[in-house]
Amino acid sequence: MKNQFSFENFNVYNKSEEYYYQVLKVLSNHKIDKNIKDQLKRASLSIVLNIAEGAGKYTKKDKKNFYSISKGSANECVAILRILEIENLITEQQFKTCYELLLEIAKMLSALIKTMTNISVIKYR
């Protein structure tokens, strides 16, 4: 089936789905506290969902807002994953895989946010 929604063709959206898939593997660890699991799942979903929602907005300001929320959620995920690594609840490889995906997602979102920022040039006479 051909992608019908514009966000389905965004590299950053596809990368965020790939990251979410990796998080599901992390969340399968029964040793992780349920509150931390819930927070990681919500923050990870927020990345994916805010990219999709932002793509559907009409103004640059609205798009930028959703992409900014998504980037903030990516930062939150990094912090949670670092805590899980400190507590030896995820492997070094799980951390590395998720971290690298989040870094790539954050860079892509920063670029998107930058394109949504109108920089007006003031001309003096």
pTM for the structure as a whole: 0.90
Nearest to 77, CA basis, from 99, 53, 107, 52? 99
Per residue of the chain (125 residues), what is the pLDDT tens digit?
A: 777 999 999 999 999 999 999 999 999 999 999 999 999 999 999 999 999 999 999 999 999 999 999 999 999 999 999 999 999 999 999 999 999 999 999 999 999 999 988 654 445 44
Indicate the CATH number of 7-116 among 1.20.1440.60, 3.20.20.80, 1.20.120.1730, 2.40.50.100. 1.20.1440.60
Residue spans per domain, the chain: 7-116
